[in-house]
Amino acid sequence: MSNFSLSRWLGIVIKEFTQLRRDRLTFGMIVGIPLLQLILFGFAINSDPKHLPTAVVMHDTGPFSRAWVAAMENSDYFRIVGTAASDADATALLARGEVQFVVSFPRDFNRDLVRGLRPQLLVEADATDPTVAGGAISVLNQLGQRVFTPDLPGAQRPPGAAPGRVDLRVHRRYNPESKTAYNIVPGLLGVILTMTMVLMTGLAMTRERERGTFENLLSTPATAFEVMTGKIVPYIVIGLIQVTLVLLAARGIFHVPMRGSVLLLYALVLLFICANLAIGITFSSIARNQLQAMQLTFFFFLPSILLSGFMFPFRGMPEWAQAVGNLLPLTHFLIMVRGVMLKGLGLDMLWSQVGAITAFILAVLAVGIKTFRRTMD
Amino acid sequence: MAKDTPLAIDVRGLNKHFGARHVVRDLALQVREGEIFGFLGPNGSGKTTSIRMICGLLTPDSGAGSCLGLDVMRESREIKRQVGYMTQRFSLWEDLTIAENLDFVARMFGMPDRREAVTRALADLGLEGRRNQLAGTLSGGWKQRLALAACLLHNPRLLLLDEPTAGVDPKARRDFWEEIHRLSAAGITVLVSTHYMDEAERCHRLAYLAYGQMLASGTGDEIIAGQRLSTWAIEGGDAPGLSEALRALDGVEQVASFGTRLHASGQDAARLTASLNAFCAERHLQSEPVAPSLEDAFIHLMRTSTDPDA
C-alpha cells in the first residue's frame, strides 16, 4: 500500500459524491426511499389483521344470537358490516371479497341452545389467503367455549369446563386445505407481470434515448403513436407468455384450481398488462437514463408487492395504507385473479376492479402521453 | 450555381428557446436546389438546432418558411419523408446487423421495393459480404458510410448532415466528400455542418453561426471579402514567442499559424503594414501580404462575435 495517495483517493471520493449530487433523481431516491418505506411499511404491515369485515345471516334474532354477534365484535377480530337477507346474498358478498366472514344463525338457534341441543353455527371464511382468516378462526373457537355460559339458566350450566354449547362449523371456502400456494401462485402472476412489464418498457425507451438512436427514429415519418404502440406490442406478447408459464406451473406443480373461465382470466391479464405498460412508458419519459428507469420501477414495485395484499393481508393495514393500496393496479388484479381461479367468479362480480384498473390506466396515460410528446419534440 | 435556381430551403425569422436559453435567433436561410451549403460555427452556436428545425424534428418557437416547398411550421411529417438526416453521433442500432438496420429504415419510410433498395444500398457500400455483421462492430469510418447509406435509402431530395466526418480518418473523409459532390451533381441539396476548413472550402456556399445568430453567409470568397481583412504572412512562425509579439503590435487584430507561417490580420491595412514592416525589419523576418484565407475570416468572425445575452 506504499503507493496509496490520500489526496488522490479523496479526489475519487469527492468526484463520486459530486456526480451523485448532480443526478437529482438518484439522490432523491437514496434519501426518499428509505424514509418513505420505513413510514409506509413500518406502520402499514400487520400480519395479524383485525376488524375483518363480517356479514351476519339472522334466521333467528333471539338474545343469544345477538350476544354472540356482540362477543365477536368485542374480540376486535370482527367488524360486523351488515346483515344479509339470505344465504345467497351472503355468499355473493363473500365471493366479491366484500366480507371475510359470514356467520349464519339457523332457525330455532336460541331455543335449541337453551334446550342444550348444541345447535349448529355456520361460519364461512374466505380462505383464499389462509393467513388472514387464521387468527380470527382461533378466536371463534374460544368464543364457543364461554359466550353463553353466564346467560344460560342454572340447570344448563355445566359444573366444570364446558364443552361447546354450540356446534361451531367453520367452512374455509375456496381453499379448504388452507394451502398457501393457492394464494401465492395466482398472486405471483401479478407480481411477475408488474416487475417485467414496467421495467422492460421503461428500459426500452430510455435505451433508445441513451444510445442516441431515438433521434434517428424521430427523423423518420413515424408518429408518436406508432413509436409508442409499436414498441409496446412485443412486451404484451412477452407478458402473455409469462402468464401462460405461471398458469401451467400453477396447474402442474402446485395444483391450484382453475374454477373460472381461462378466457376471462386472459382478458383481465391483458387489462393489467396495459396498466403496467402505461406506467412503464410514463417512467421512460421521466427517466433520463436506464438507471433512473430502473429506480423508478423499484419505486413502484415495492409498494405494489407490500401494500397490494400479495405479501401481507390487505385487511391488516390501516385505512390510509389501504387507500394507497387501492390506487395500485396489483391490488385489484389480485382480487380478480384469485376470484377467477379460486372462487370461479365471472366478470359480473369483478366490475369494480376492472373499473379501478381502467381509471388507473387513463390517469397514467394522461400524464405519460403528455411527457412522451414533449420528449418527441 | 445559377441565381435563378429554385430554393430547397427558404426560411425566415426562425427562433428556438430551450428554457431560458435563446439557442437560435431569427435564422434566415436560403439554400438553392442541388447546392452544398456549409454550416460553420463554434460548438453550441445553434447549428444542430437549426438543422433539426429545418428537417421537422423540432418545431420552431416562431418563424416561417419552406423546406422543399413544404411549410416548416406545419408540414414537418411530409418534410421528414423527403429529407435524409444524418445525426452527429452514430444513431443506428448497434445491436442490429447492417442489413437489419437498412431494412428497418426502409420500413420506416414505407418503401415499396424494400428488399431491392436494401440490396442495392449494401452493394453500393460494398458490404454485401458483411450484411449480417452487427452495426456496433463496425469501425468509425464504416459506421459513417452506413449512416449515410441509411439516410439515402429513401431517395431524399435534401440531405442534412450534422458534423458527418467527426472522428473519421482523412482518406475516409475525402471519399465521403467525393460522394457528397456526386450526390449534389445528381440534384440532391446538401446542408452540412462542419468544423473543418478544408470541408468548408468544398461547399458551394457557407453560413457562419455564433450564439444562435447567423453572422455571415455567402460563398467562401464573399465571406472573406465581407470581413475586410488585410493579411500578411510571416515566415518563421515556429519561433517561440513570435505570435505573442505580433499580437501585441498596433493594427494586428489576430494571429493564426499555418504550418511554419503565421498570418497576421487586421482591418486597418495602413496601420497593419506600418507596424509589421518595422517589426520584421528589426527581427530580420520575411513577410509578404497575402489574400486572407477562409480560416482567417472565420477566426475574425469568432473573435468579434459576442453573446447578445451576456
Q: What is the pLDDT of residues A132-167, one digit of tens each?
A: 777 788 888 787 767 766 655 555 555 444 456 778
The reply to whether B296 falls in a domain is no
**Number of A–B residue contacts, CB under 8 Å:** 41
Whole-number Å distance between alpha carbons of B288 and B263: 10
Do both B240 and B157 map to the same domain? no
Do both B123 and B160 map to the same domain? yes
Contacts with B91 from chain A: Cβ below 8 Å: 211-216
The reply to whether B200 falls in a domain is yes
| Higher-confidence position of A97 and B253 | B253
B197: CATH: 3.40.50.300
Contact call for B108 and A217, based on CB within 8 A: yes
The reply to whether B75 falls in a domain is yes
- The rounded percent of chain B whose pLDDT value lies above 90 is 49
The cell for B26 is 431569427
Contacts with B87 from chain A: Cβ below 8 Å: 212, 215-216, 219
Topology annotation, domain A52-173: abc type-2 transporter like fold (3.40.1710)
The mean pLDDT of B229-252, rounded to a whole number, is 83
The burial class, CB within 10 Å (0-12 / 13-18 / 19+), for A361 is buried
**Where exactly are the structural domains of chain A?**
52-173, 180-376
Contact call for B87 and A219, based on CB within 8 A: yes
Predicted pLDDT of residue B12? 92
Whole-number Å distance between alpha carbons of B111 and B108: 8
Q: What is the pLDDT of residues A38-54, one digit of tens each?
A: 777 777 777 778 888 99
The cell for A85 is 337477507
Do both B129 and B18 map to the same domain? yes
Contact call for B83 and A219, based on CB within 8 A: yes
Report phi then psi at B206, rounded to 5: -135, 155
- Of B166, B191, B223, the one marking the end of a domain is B223
| Higher-confidence position of A177 and B228 | B228
Predicted pLDDT of residue A159? 46
Q: Which residue from B59, B91, B110 is facing A213, i.e. has the nearest CB?
A: B91
Q: Which is nearest to A231 in space by CA: A249, A208, A210?
A: A208
The mean pLDDT of A193-219, rounded to a whole number, is 87
Do both B250 and B140 map to the same domain? no
Whole-number Å distance between alpha carbons of A191 and A334: 9
The mean pLDDT of A353-370, rounded to a whole number, is 89
Predicted pLDDT of residue A160? 42
The reply to whether B306 falls in a domain is no
| Total number of domains constituting chain B | 2
Predicted pLDDT of residue A311? 83
The mean pLDDT of A277-283, rounded to a whole number, is 89
The mean pLDDT of B35-52, rounded to a whole number, is 91
Do both B174 and B79 map to the same domain? yes
Q: Which is nearest to B223 in space by CA: B249, B244, B205?
A: B205
Predicted pLDDT of residue A151? 59
- Expressed as residue numbers, the domain containing B193 is 7-223
Contacts with A217 from chain B: Cβ below 8 Å: 108
- The rounded percent of chain A whose pLDDT value lies above 90 is 16
Do both B58 and B194 map to the same domain? yes
The reply to whether B204 falls in a domain is yes
For chain A, give the number of residues.
377
Over 90: is that where the pLDDT of A317 sits?
no
- Of B203, B223, B243, the one marking the end of a domain is B223
In A, minimum Cα distance to B81 occurs at A221
Contact call for A221 and B105, based on CB within 8 A: no
Q: Which residue from A217, A218, A221 is facing B81, i.e. has the nearest CB?
A: A221
Over 70: is that where the pLDDT of B238 sits?
no
- The rounded percent of chain A whose pLDDT value lies above 70 is 92
Q: Which residue from B57, B59, B110 is facing A219, i.e. has the nearest CB?
A: B57
Do both B158 and B175 map to the same domain? yes
Q: How many Å lie between the alpha carbon of A275 and the closest alpha carbon of chain B? A: 28
The reply to whether B36 falls in a domain is yes
Count CB atoms within 10 A of the CB of residue B271. 15
**CA B104, B108, B113, B117: dihedral to nearest 10 degrees?**
-50
Contact call for B58 and A377, based on CB within 8 A: yes
Alpha-carbon distance values, A265 to A197, A236, A314, A357, A369 (Å): 18, 15, 22, 15, 28
Contact call for A215 and B80, based on CB within 8 A: no
- The rounded percent of chain B whose pLDDT value lies above 70 is 98
Q: What is the pLDDT of residues B101-160, one digit of tens each?
A: 999 999 999 888 899 999 999 998 888 888 899 999 998 889 999 999 999 999 999 999
B262: CATH: 3.30.70
Count CB atoms within 10 A of the CB of residue A343. 22
Whether residue B87 lies within 8 A of chain A, CB to CB, comes out as yes
Contacts with B81 from chain A: Cβ below 8 Å: 221
Q: What is the pLDDT of residues B63-83, one digit of tens each?
A: 999 999 999 888 888 899 999
Contact call for A215 and B91, based on CB within 8 A: yes
Predicted pLDDT of residue A200? 87
Q: Which residue from A211, A217, A221 is facing B77, i.e. has the nearest CB?
A: A221
Predicted pLDDT of residue A154? 54
Q: Which is nearest to A48 in space by CA: A346, A313, A293?
A: A313
Contact call for A221 and B108, based on CB within 8 A: yes
